[in-house]
Structure 1
């Protein structure tokens, strides 16, 4: 088991390293300059030891020439200036690479996330994903822009220091080398623990961020139910859990640093005792001992710095693994290698051929169970049914947020799985029951339906949605800030902006999910007229909870437990569908039912076997 664990860790290390190198590769020249500066600064620092030897043996020795002392000091200052220049170059380019790689990684993860099918987010919390994109990439920026440079510089100092130790005094160097295995062992042992705890710590921090985001997003509900005390306790639990994991990681790093200091400085003390006696016996000069002590301290300091940074590198490895997991996530909805093209004269005809579908997270039950429908171009179809009947699922399938497990959905005679998702969705617009607005201005949110739209087109769409009047009363009109999620607007105002967005998109297929549910009576009347205009000449699918909103559509399909149990007009369904008639009796009084059943259009949807 231990061997398998080591193999997994080795494979993970290689995967993380290769991925990070892939992000650094585009900036190879900056990396080369940083590496040259790194090598130069390490070499200059090491050469200071030889300068120290000359300074002691030739500058401070009895009867030394003052000119030799001056020359040694001038050489020392020149080396200091070179070290300063090299340090500036190294710091600038290494920090630049860290910031650049962090930015690229954020963009790569976000760009990949928004292409994943919605099913991925059923099992992955949005707050945790946000934490990975922000906190984890910030950690990587710090490590790449600082810790890696420190580790590499100290590694070079360690190697160079060992070589110069051998050159200066092989006997004393042997004593130093005896301590190396004693130092490396705790680094390896504690390093594995630090990496595991770092991964756990990042996960706990992500949970904290996720909880905070959810609480703030739903602050009105939180306060309405006086849930502050309970949420304080839950937040305390999240924070304390994260702290406990972090405390364990800190304890491991502290033990690592302590062990390294004791072992390294103990070896240096022993070496100084032996070297001091050699100087007294005349076997080596004072300058040689000073140079040796300098290099020994340099090697010891390098090992200590590496042990300190090693913890940061392990944290970065844990953060990298979390980010790579997101980048490696596969979308279940992909474009075909060679997508088919839709006809130029697109009408919006839909055909559902015995489709079966279950959600990836709920494989035991069909959400859609053998549905077949033919929807003529330009006609309207209402989907009615109790909660959980499959109405919203049908919308998700039409937008190809998910693919059916059996059967096929045809758009203008083409299986939508053979179309590029972007091409399919460019002909569809949706108005959800709960309008979604993004942080920005009113105009930005309307233009979401067509990013290239002019101001005149945006205003025309708002007028068609009966939104122009209230928009002009806002402090800055179309430039007014709507707040997060449109919090500065009423529900009805948000809904009309969402409808204006759909108007601007000018789709061939219009999807309305109870689009007038958030409106007062007057606004509903105005928007209903706008929708009637918008629906003309377009294929429209309407999800309806209130039957009064769909009595005049071409066809109504009754859904129950994922099946179409009846289709027809409002009047026809009152006569032949007990389920529909019961819903109608709950929503209408007897006179309204009779009124609503008069002068209805002939059905445009052809019922199938399971809809009879």
Structure 2
């Protein structure tokens, strides 16, 4: 079978070098060379090639119109002032005004098109990077800080937008002005033009030297800003814990340290950029002053006319200004190059979950038979520590199975492997007799309804949260699911009922209310395999009774796996699997295990002691 995604093995990831923040760096995701940045940007411009072509045409029209003004200056001096011809002067002035109108119109069109392209490219980059991130497994996000990723989406993409929409346009226009100005100077005086060209290497040398340093420091600066964003994201999302433990002063100090780190790198970048601009301006103006002196000598000797020298100086000033603009914009482009490299890294992060080009399909109604065979798994961060160790178990369609065991026994990890969030080292998992590695991820995950221990609530309304797993559900179906989950009784008390905005991470809900929303989501999804990760842990006694009634309805005729730490949850299971250190150590009903397994007896005794006061 043909594989459409190429992955690194888990072992390769574990042995990969670590970045500065301790995250593993894939060999396929190293920082791209600068020469790859421009082709990457051009790839986003290809769908809009007609607009790019139009912008370039208007750029040339505007630049050539400005260059033609030099001839107007020459005519004004030679045929107007010196010839003392008022009529001819009036004609020349009208010519200059006409050229100015043409140039201004071209500038409007160029500016509009380039700014639009900058916004469009930035939006397309965000879409591509975000779409790619959604395909990456939790292993990638375990090694990345959310704030760092968000920084790349915001600061880095905005910088690219500024460069494509403005700086790149200025650089191209200035480049045309430099080339055109030198050509026009050549027509005016070959001697003076030759002197100007001798100064070009003096100007380009600092551009190349300082520009490279600006690019390197800009990349480092963006990394530091990303670290700053990660710290803000972490502390503000966990503000309850920060304030509860009076950790504000320590977080302020840590934040101040990161801010100063950003400033330290920024100072170096600003210094080199200022040196670049100042050096280019000094060399350019010095060259113009020298050439002007030589030209004045030629005018006095009669080699050239005053009008020709005026036109030459007009072009020289234009070229010098264009070179200064290029030097300033070049540092911006180098800075954007560093930002682009960071976005390329995200967009090219390797997808580590293999999918087949032609995946198999579950035919007919999914029965929910699960088979785990010799499963071995270790997290990439610690490849030598097996969380699941040669685990084998068969679960029948419609069977209700409870997973118990100490913390770290591999219960939650087994759920993640069933959903293919990670790739096992060896062994297999089958659903209805088909290896889940041969199914598409989308089709596989549509067979599971998950109720996690920490219920996930999105910053939207009750309606949108409940139908998250079934977006085509009607409002009536949503309400029926909430009634079954015993959530309707508190939802109707909200000011806007089912249209109530629940806030970021469901801050307007209690822990028990969050879990009932999550259970309603699973009820509405109506999927053949149900994964419950201690789904009643955050409920009070009254709510727990109600939700257990809802779960009984939900679990009917569904294969159900329950991670349980409370005895009341597991007693009614068809079978209890006792896990320890990633291995299955016992299997049976509650009464059977109480008689045959010491680990389960210890677990049950502790739970009985815990639950007795209730």
TM-score when scaled to structure 2?
0.94
Match of 2:458 in 1: 438
Match of 1:316 in 2: 336
Q: How far apart, CA to CA, are the structure 2 residues paired with 1:591 and 1:98?
A: 62
CA contact (8 A) 2:486 2:550 kept: yes
Q: How far apart, CA to CA, are the structure 1 residues paired with 2:404 and 2:239?
A: 33
Q: How far apart, CA to CA, are the structure 2 residues paired with 1:12 and 1:152?
A: 23
CA contact (8 A) 1:343 1:412 kept: no
SS at match of 1:387: coil
Match of 1:208 in 2: 228
SS at match of 1:448: helix
2:145 to 114, 125, 128: 125
- Between 1:274-283 and 1:424-433, the stretch displaced more is 274-283
Q: How far apart, CA to CA, are the structure 2 residues paired with 1:590 and 1:504?
A: 33
Match of 2:25 in 1: none
CA contact (8 A) 2:146 2:233 kept: no
Say whether residues 1:379 and 2:399 are aligned partners.
yes
SS at match of 2:382: coil
Structure-to-structure mapping, 1:361-510, within 5 angstroms: 361-510=381-530
Match of 1:603 in 2: none
1:527 to 536, 539, 547: 547
CA contact (8 A) 1:429 1:507 kept: yes
Q: How far apart, CA to CA, are the structure 1 residues paired with 2:593 and 2:549?
A: 25
Structure-to-structure mapping, 1:209-608, within 5 angstroms: 209-589=229-609
Q: Deviation at 1:203? A: 0.5
Q: How far apart, CA to CA, are the structure 2 residues paired with 1:454 and 1:54?
A: 77
Q: How far apart, CA to CA, are the structure 1 residues paired with 2:354 and 2:70?
A: 62
Provide, for residues 153-207 of structure 1, a one-character-per-residue CA deviation record: whole Å limited to 9, x for no partner. Answer: 0001011111111111111111111111011111111111111101000000011
Q: How far apart, CA to CA, are the structure 1 residues paired with 2:438 and 2:100?
A: 67
Q: Deviation at 1:65? A: 2.2
Match of 2:190 in 1: 170
Q: Deviation at 1:335? A: 2.1
CA contact (8 A) 2:32 2:344 kept: no
Q: How far apart, CA to CA, are the structure 1 residues paired with 2:574 and 2:116?
A: 62
Q: How far apart, CA to CA, are the structure 2 residues paired with 1:178 and 1:405?
A: 65
CA contact (8 A) 2:31 2:341 kept: no
2:34 to 13, 25, 47: 13
Q: Deviation at 1:13? A: 2.6
Change in CA separation of 1:205 and 1:10 when aligned onto 2, cut-off 3 Å: closer
Match of 2:8 in 1: none
Q: Deviation at 1:583? A: 1.3
Match of 1:605 in 2: none
Change in CA separation of 1:592 and 1:250 when aligned onto 2, cut-off 3 Å: closer
Match of 1:42 in 2: 63
Provide, for residues 237-275 of structure 1, a one-character-per-residue CA deviation record: whole Å limited to 9, x for no partner. Answer: 111101111111011101111110111111001011111
Match of 1:81 in 2: 101
SS at match of 1:575: helix
Provide, for residues 141-160 of structure 1, a one-character-per-residue CA deviation record: whole Å limited to 9, x for no partner. Answer: 00000000000000010111
Structure-to-structure mapping, 1:173-184, within 5 angstroms: 173-184=193-204
Q: How far apart, CA to CA, are the structure 2 residues paired with 1:29 and 1:545?
A: 63
Q: How far apart, CA to CA, are the structure 2 residues paired with 1:526 and 1:585?
A: 26
Q: How far apart, CA to CA, are the structure 2 residues paired with 1:404 and 1:206?
A: 32
Q: How far apart, CA to CA, are the structure 2 residues paired with 1:249 and 1:112?
A: 31
Q: Which runs of 5+ in 1 are unaligned?
A: 1-8, 594-612
Q: How far apart, CA to CA, are the structure 2 residues paired with 1:371 and 1:228?
A: 46
- Between 1:274-283 and 1:451-460, the stretch displaced more is 274-283
Q: How far apart, CA to CA, are the structure 2 residues paired with 1:11 and 1:501?
A: 42
Say whether residues 1:59 and 2:105 are aligned partners.
no
Q: Deviation at 1:10? A: 12
Larger RCO, structure (CA 8 Å, separation 6 or more): 2
Question: Over aligned residues, Cα RMSD in angstroms?
Answer: 1.5
Q: How far apart, CA to CA, are the structure 2 residues paired with 1:590 and 1:255?
A: 71
SS at match of 2:531: strand
Q: Deviation at 1:592? A: 7.2
Change in CA separation of 1:334 and 1:374 when aligned onto 2, cut-off 3 Å: same
SS at match of 1:489: coil
Q: How far apart, CA to CA, are the structure 2 residues paired with 1:411 and 1:525?
A: 32
Q: How many residues align?
A: 584
- Between 1:528-537 and 1:270-279, the stretch displaced more is 270-279
TM-score when scaled to structure 1?
0.94
Match of 1:602 in 2: none
Q: Deviation at 1:548? A: 2.1
Change in CA separation of 1:11 and 1:422 when aligned onto 2, cut-off 3 Å: closer
Match of 1:24 in 2: 45
CA contact (8 A) 1:334 1:421 kept: no
Q: How far apart, CA to CA, are the structure 2 residues paired with 1:389 and 1:376?
A: 22
